[in-house]
Each structure stands twice: as structure tokens, then as C-alpha cells.
A = this chain, B = another copy of it.
Amino acid sequence: MSAKIDTSLPTVNARIYPRGGLDVLSRDEVARLRDASTGMHDLLRRCALAVLTSGSASDDPRAARELYPDFDIQVHQQDRGVRIDLAHAPAMAFVDGEIIHGVADLLFAVVRDLAYTAIELRADSGRDLESTDGITDAVFGLLRNARILHPTEPNLVVCWGGHSISRDEYVYTKQVGYELGLRGLDICTGCGPGAMKGPMKGATIAHAKQRQRRSRYIGITEPGIIAAESPNPIVNHLVIMPDIEKRLEAFVRLGHGIIVFPGGVGTAEEILYLLGILLREENEGLPFPLIFTGPSASAPYFEQIDKFLRLTLGEAATSRYEIVIGDPIAVAKRMAAGIRKVRENRIAHKDSFFFNWSLKVPVEFQRPFVPSHEAMATLDLHHGRKPHELAADLRRAFSGIVAGNVKEDGMRRIEAHGPFEIHGDPGMMQSLDALLRAFVEQRRMKIAGEYKPCYRVLA
């Protein structure tokens, strides 16, 4: 097709010599890295392209692949270390033929983390990757290898929220980031656009005004979404976790507090994940500042979320979060105060500042959930269960419904076997349904055509 001629963009071929950890490898490690990079070549290519187009206008991953159809990456061995060869790489990552330093850093991060997963966390590594402690250790290992863990003062705020939010909401996330930054707090997000970028952008300006030089803008992603949510150009520490569950665990182990901005179904799942953990008895008493916030116009969104949480998890759940509307300064002040309590608690319990060992994350939150009809049928969404168990099942229900509505796999299953059958209180299920419809109306969930529930409720 001749269209290709029009869309293909300027490219560059380059040889890059890694720094920062990838530069002190043994011969054996280099060989394994090269082999691993062959084994995961497509994955590597996809992730590398995402970081090489970091900051581009479009956030459509397929666009990137279509715009740079001939892009390739190879990891080569040299006696002295590794060399990364890029072919037909996006010219936007280069200046006068030299790769931009920050982009190179992100590229090294991709190779580093994919290699760690492929080599250290491979099935036959002899490592325990099934038990809750084993999985937590894997998360720790990857983060340490990524040089994210340092014994510094607690100051890391995780920000969650949608990647496609309204202009108003985006500006608000910047304002919150700015107020956090003024108070010396660093930012960690999922590293895409929207609510993942705004807080970093605001914090950048605040850190510059406060003359704070060594700020951290940590982006934690996983192979399934990095291509769709390419790291924004502010990220200066990129981590690629092996899967969604390890990414979520990384957030809650690293962050000293979490702020939730308006988002879609993904954000709702994250909220249920976190409350499912915090409401467990073992985690009672563990301080974990959690603030839901947005501009005034987003007040209804959080009212709905709040209502849903009260109805499903009970009033007790509300003790774990607070909702602040339209007040970035109040958000930042409360977060700073909350983190001071986290600090005291860590000292009192001799836990580290850089990794929240004390938080108990049960193994069912660590293992992937595959929403088959069987799995969905085993969910038990009735009042009377312990809030954290209900939260876990609600999260799974959400996950399945989303899949049934928008993910290729899920939609195919629904087509083949009919709607999921979910056992649940009608009231609870109606509340869930109302939430989903609201997301669709507010355009927080992309649906082709009219929204049609993909499940049936069995009381």
C-alpha cells in the first residue's frame, strides 16, 4: 500500500553501549542476556519501541508499530559487555544522530528488567515463585536490581487514575503534583499519559522551584500495557514488572501513600485491590494514607465510588480512605501528614523505609486471575462475607466483566458460551451495574456501540 510511504517517519540506526548496572556484567551474564533477548525478541522490540517514542503526540501503540514497521533491536555480546543495536529506530529519540540520554536510560531499563524476568525469574530458576513470600521476594529482587530501593526518607506518593481524562481533571492532577512537589514528595505512577503524567509534570515544576535536584519520577509498568501507555518523558526511573499482579504489589510496597484520581475500570480494580488488602485484619493498624481526589466537576464520580464501596464492603471500608474534592493543597498536606505517620510506624516496627515488608498481601492477590466462565461462576458476591474477601471477589468480577465487554479474549468467550453467571446479591449487582454504566456515560470506558451487560445474576 502506498499509504506506507506517507506515514513512515525518519529513522536512525545506532549502536548503544549500556550504562548503569548493565555495564558490569560477567561473561556468563552477557551470554544469558543475549540469549534471553533472542527468546523474548518480540516483547523486547515492542517495549523498546514504546520508550523510543516516549512523549510522542499519539498514545496509540499500534500507531507506533505502523509508523516504524522496520524497527528492530538486537542485543549483542562483546567481550567487555553488551551492545544494543537499533535499526530503523524513531529519529525522535535522537539529536543529531546521538540518542537522548534519558531515552537511552529508559531503553537500558527495558533490557535490564526483561532480562531479569527472563533469567532470574524463569520457571526453572529454582526460585520459589508460587508462595506469597516467594512472589514478594521476586518483586523485591526486580526492584532492587532496577536500583529503585534506597534507604532514604519516606517521600514516595503513588498516583493512580485514568490515562484518558478530561482537560479539567488533567490540570487538577498537575496542581496536586505541584503541591506534592513543593512539599518535597516524589511521584510514582503507571507511567502513561493522563493521570499518570499530570502529577509528575506538576511536581517537576515544584521541584525546580524548590531547587530539589535529585527527584524521582518512577514509572512502573508491565509488558501488556507499556506499548499502549508509553512512558511519558518525565519518567526518570522506569521499571517493567513481569505481570499486572506484581506491578500492583510494587506500587503498594514502594509507595508511602496513594492518591487516586478519576479513572475508569482499571482504577476501580486498583481501588478494590488496595482495599481488599488494607481491610484484612493483619493489616489493621498499619498506616497507609489513601486519598481519592479530583476537581469539583469530578465530585459525582467519587460519590458513586464511595456509595458502591459502602454498599458492598460496608461502612468500615470508608475508614481506609478519604475523599477531597477540588483542593490540591489539602490533598498534599494530608498526604504529607500521612507519610509522617508511615515514617513513625516504620521506625517503631523496624521496617525499612524503602519497602513495605509489614503489609500482608495474600497469595490470592498475587496470582493472576483468568476470567473464564468457571472462574466467574465461583465468585460469591453476597453480604455477610468478610469485607476483604468480598473485595477480592469484586475485583475479579470487575476484571471479568471488563474482559467480557472490551477484551478480545473475553468477548469471544461470551459469544461462544453466553453471558457469565455470577452469584450475587441483586442489590450489590445493581450497584456494580450502575457504576459501569456511569463509566460508559462519562466516557471512562470505551465501548463500541451500546453498553450491554455480559453477565447474568444468580441470587
Contact B24 A144 (CB under 8 A): yes
Q: Are B205 and A354 in contact (CB under 8 A)?
A: no
CB–CB B78/A350 < 8 A:
yes
Tell which of A19, A95, A101 has the most Cβ of chain B within 10 Å: A95
Chain A positions 338 through 365: 1 when the CB is less than 8 Å from some CB of chain B, otherwise 0: 0000000010011111100110000000
**Chain B neighbourhood of A27, CB < 8 A:** 133, 137, 357
Inter-chain contact B213/A213, CB cutoff 8 Å:
yes
Query: What separation, in Å, do the CA atoms of A41 and B144 have in the docked complex?
Result: 28
A96 touches B210 (CB 8 A): no
A105 to chain B, nearest CB (A): 7
Which residues of chain A (162-204) have a CB below 8 Å from chain B? Answer: 182-183, 204
**The one of B28, B204, B209 that contacts A133, using a Cβ cutoff of 8 Å:** B28
A447 within 8 A of partner (CB)? no
Q: Does A351 contact B80, Cβ atoms closer than 8 Å?
A: yes
Binary contact track A92-114/B, C-beta < 8 Å → 1, others 0: 00011000111101000000000
Alpha-carbon distance between A333 and B357 when the two chains are bound, in angstroms: 42
The residue of chain B having its C-beta at the shortest distance from the C-beta of A141 within the complex is B26
Check B96 against A333 for contact (C-beta < 8 Å): yes
CA of A126 to CA of B124 in the docked complex: distance in angstroms? Answer: 13
Contact residues, A122-151 vs B (CB, 8 A): 126, 133, 137, 140-141, 144, 149-151
Residues of B within 8 A of A352 (CB): 24, 79-81
**A144 cross-chain contacts in B, Cβ below 8 A:** 24, 26
Asked if A357 contacts B105 (CB within 8 A), the reply is no
Interchain CA distance A69-B337 in the complex, whole Å: 33
A233 at the interface (CB under 8 A from B): yes
Q: A26-B141, A28-B137, A333-B96 are in contact. Are A236 and B208 (CB under 8 A)?
A: yes
Cβ of A234 < 8 Å from any Cβ of B? yes
Q: Which residues 216-255 in A have Cβ within 8 Å of B in the complex?
A: 233-234, 236
List residues of chain B with CB within 8 A of the CB of A210: 100-102
* Contacting pair B137 A182 (CB below 8 A): no
Given A24-B144, A151-B23, A182-B95, CB of A80 within 8 Å of CB of B137:
no
Give bound CA distance, A101 to B141, whole Å.
28
Chain B residues with CB below 8 A from A349, complex form:
79
Q: How far is the CA of A434 from the CA of B2 in the complex (A)?
A: 48
Could you tell me the distance between the alpha carbons of A446 and B74 in the complex, rounded to whole angstroms? Answer: 59
**A151 and B20 alpha carbons, distance in the complex (Å):** 10
Assess the B79–A209 pair: CB atoms within 8 A. Answer: no
Name A209's contact: one of B102, B151, B182, B209 (CB within 8 Å).
Answer: B102
Chain B contacts for A79, CB-based, 8 A: 349-352, 357-358
With a cutoff of 8 Å between Cβ atoms, the chain B residues found around residue A204 in the complex are: 204, 208
Bound CA span A367–B205, Å: 39
* Cβ-based interface call for A417 (8 A): no
Contacts A80-B346, A101-B211, A211-B105; A183 near B26 (Cβ below 8 A): no
Q: Which residues of B are found within 8 Å of A81, using beta-carbon distances?
A: 352
Cα A333 to Cα B97 with chains together (Å): 12
A14 CB, nearest partner CB in chain B, Å: 16
Contact, CB under 8 Å: B209 / A24: no
| Complex Cα spacing A80 to B103, Å | 34
Alpha-carbon distance A5/B101, docked complex (angstroms): 52
A189 CB to nearest B CB, Å: 16
Contacts of A24 in B (CB 8 A): 144, 149-151, 352, 354
What's the nearest-Cβ distance from chain B to residue A326, in Å? 17
Q: Please determine whether B183 and A95 come into contact, CB atoms closer than 8 angstroms.
A: yes
Check A26–B209 contact: CB distance below 8 A.
no
Alpha-carbon distance A246/B351, docked complex (angstroms): 37
Task: Please indicate the chain B residues that have their CB under 8 angstroms from the CB of A140 in the complex.
Answer: 26
Name A266-291 residues within 8 Å CB distance of B. none
A-B contact pairs, 21 of them (CB 8 A): A19-B151, A23-B151, A24-B144, A24-B150, A27-B133, A27-B137, A28-B133, A79-B350, A80-B346, A80-B352, A80-B357, A95-B183, A100-B209, A101-B209, A101-B212, A102-B208, A102-B210, A204-B208, A205-B234, A208-B234, A208-B236
**Other contacts beyond A27-B357, A102-B209: 12, CB < 8 A:** A26-B140, A27-B133, A28-B133, A28-B137, A80-B346, A80-B352, A80-B353, A96-B333, A101-B210, A102-B210, A205-B233, A209-B233
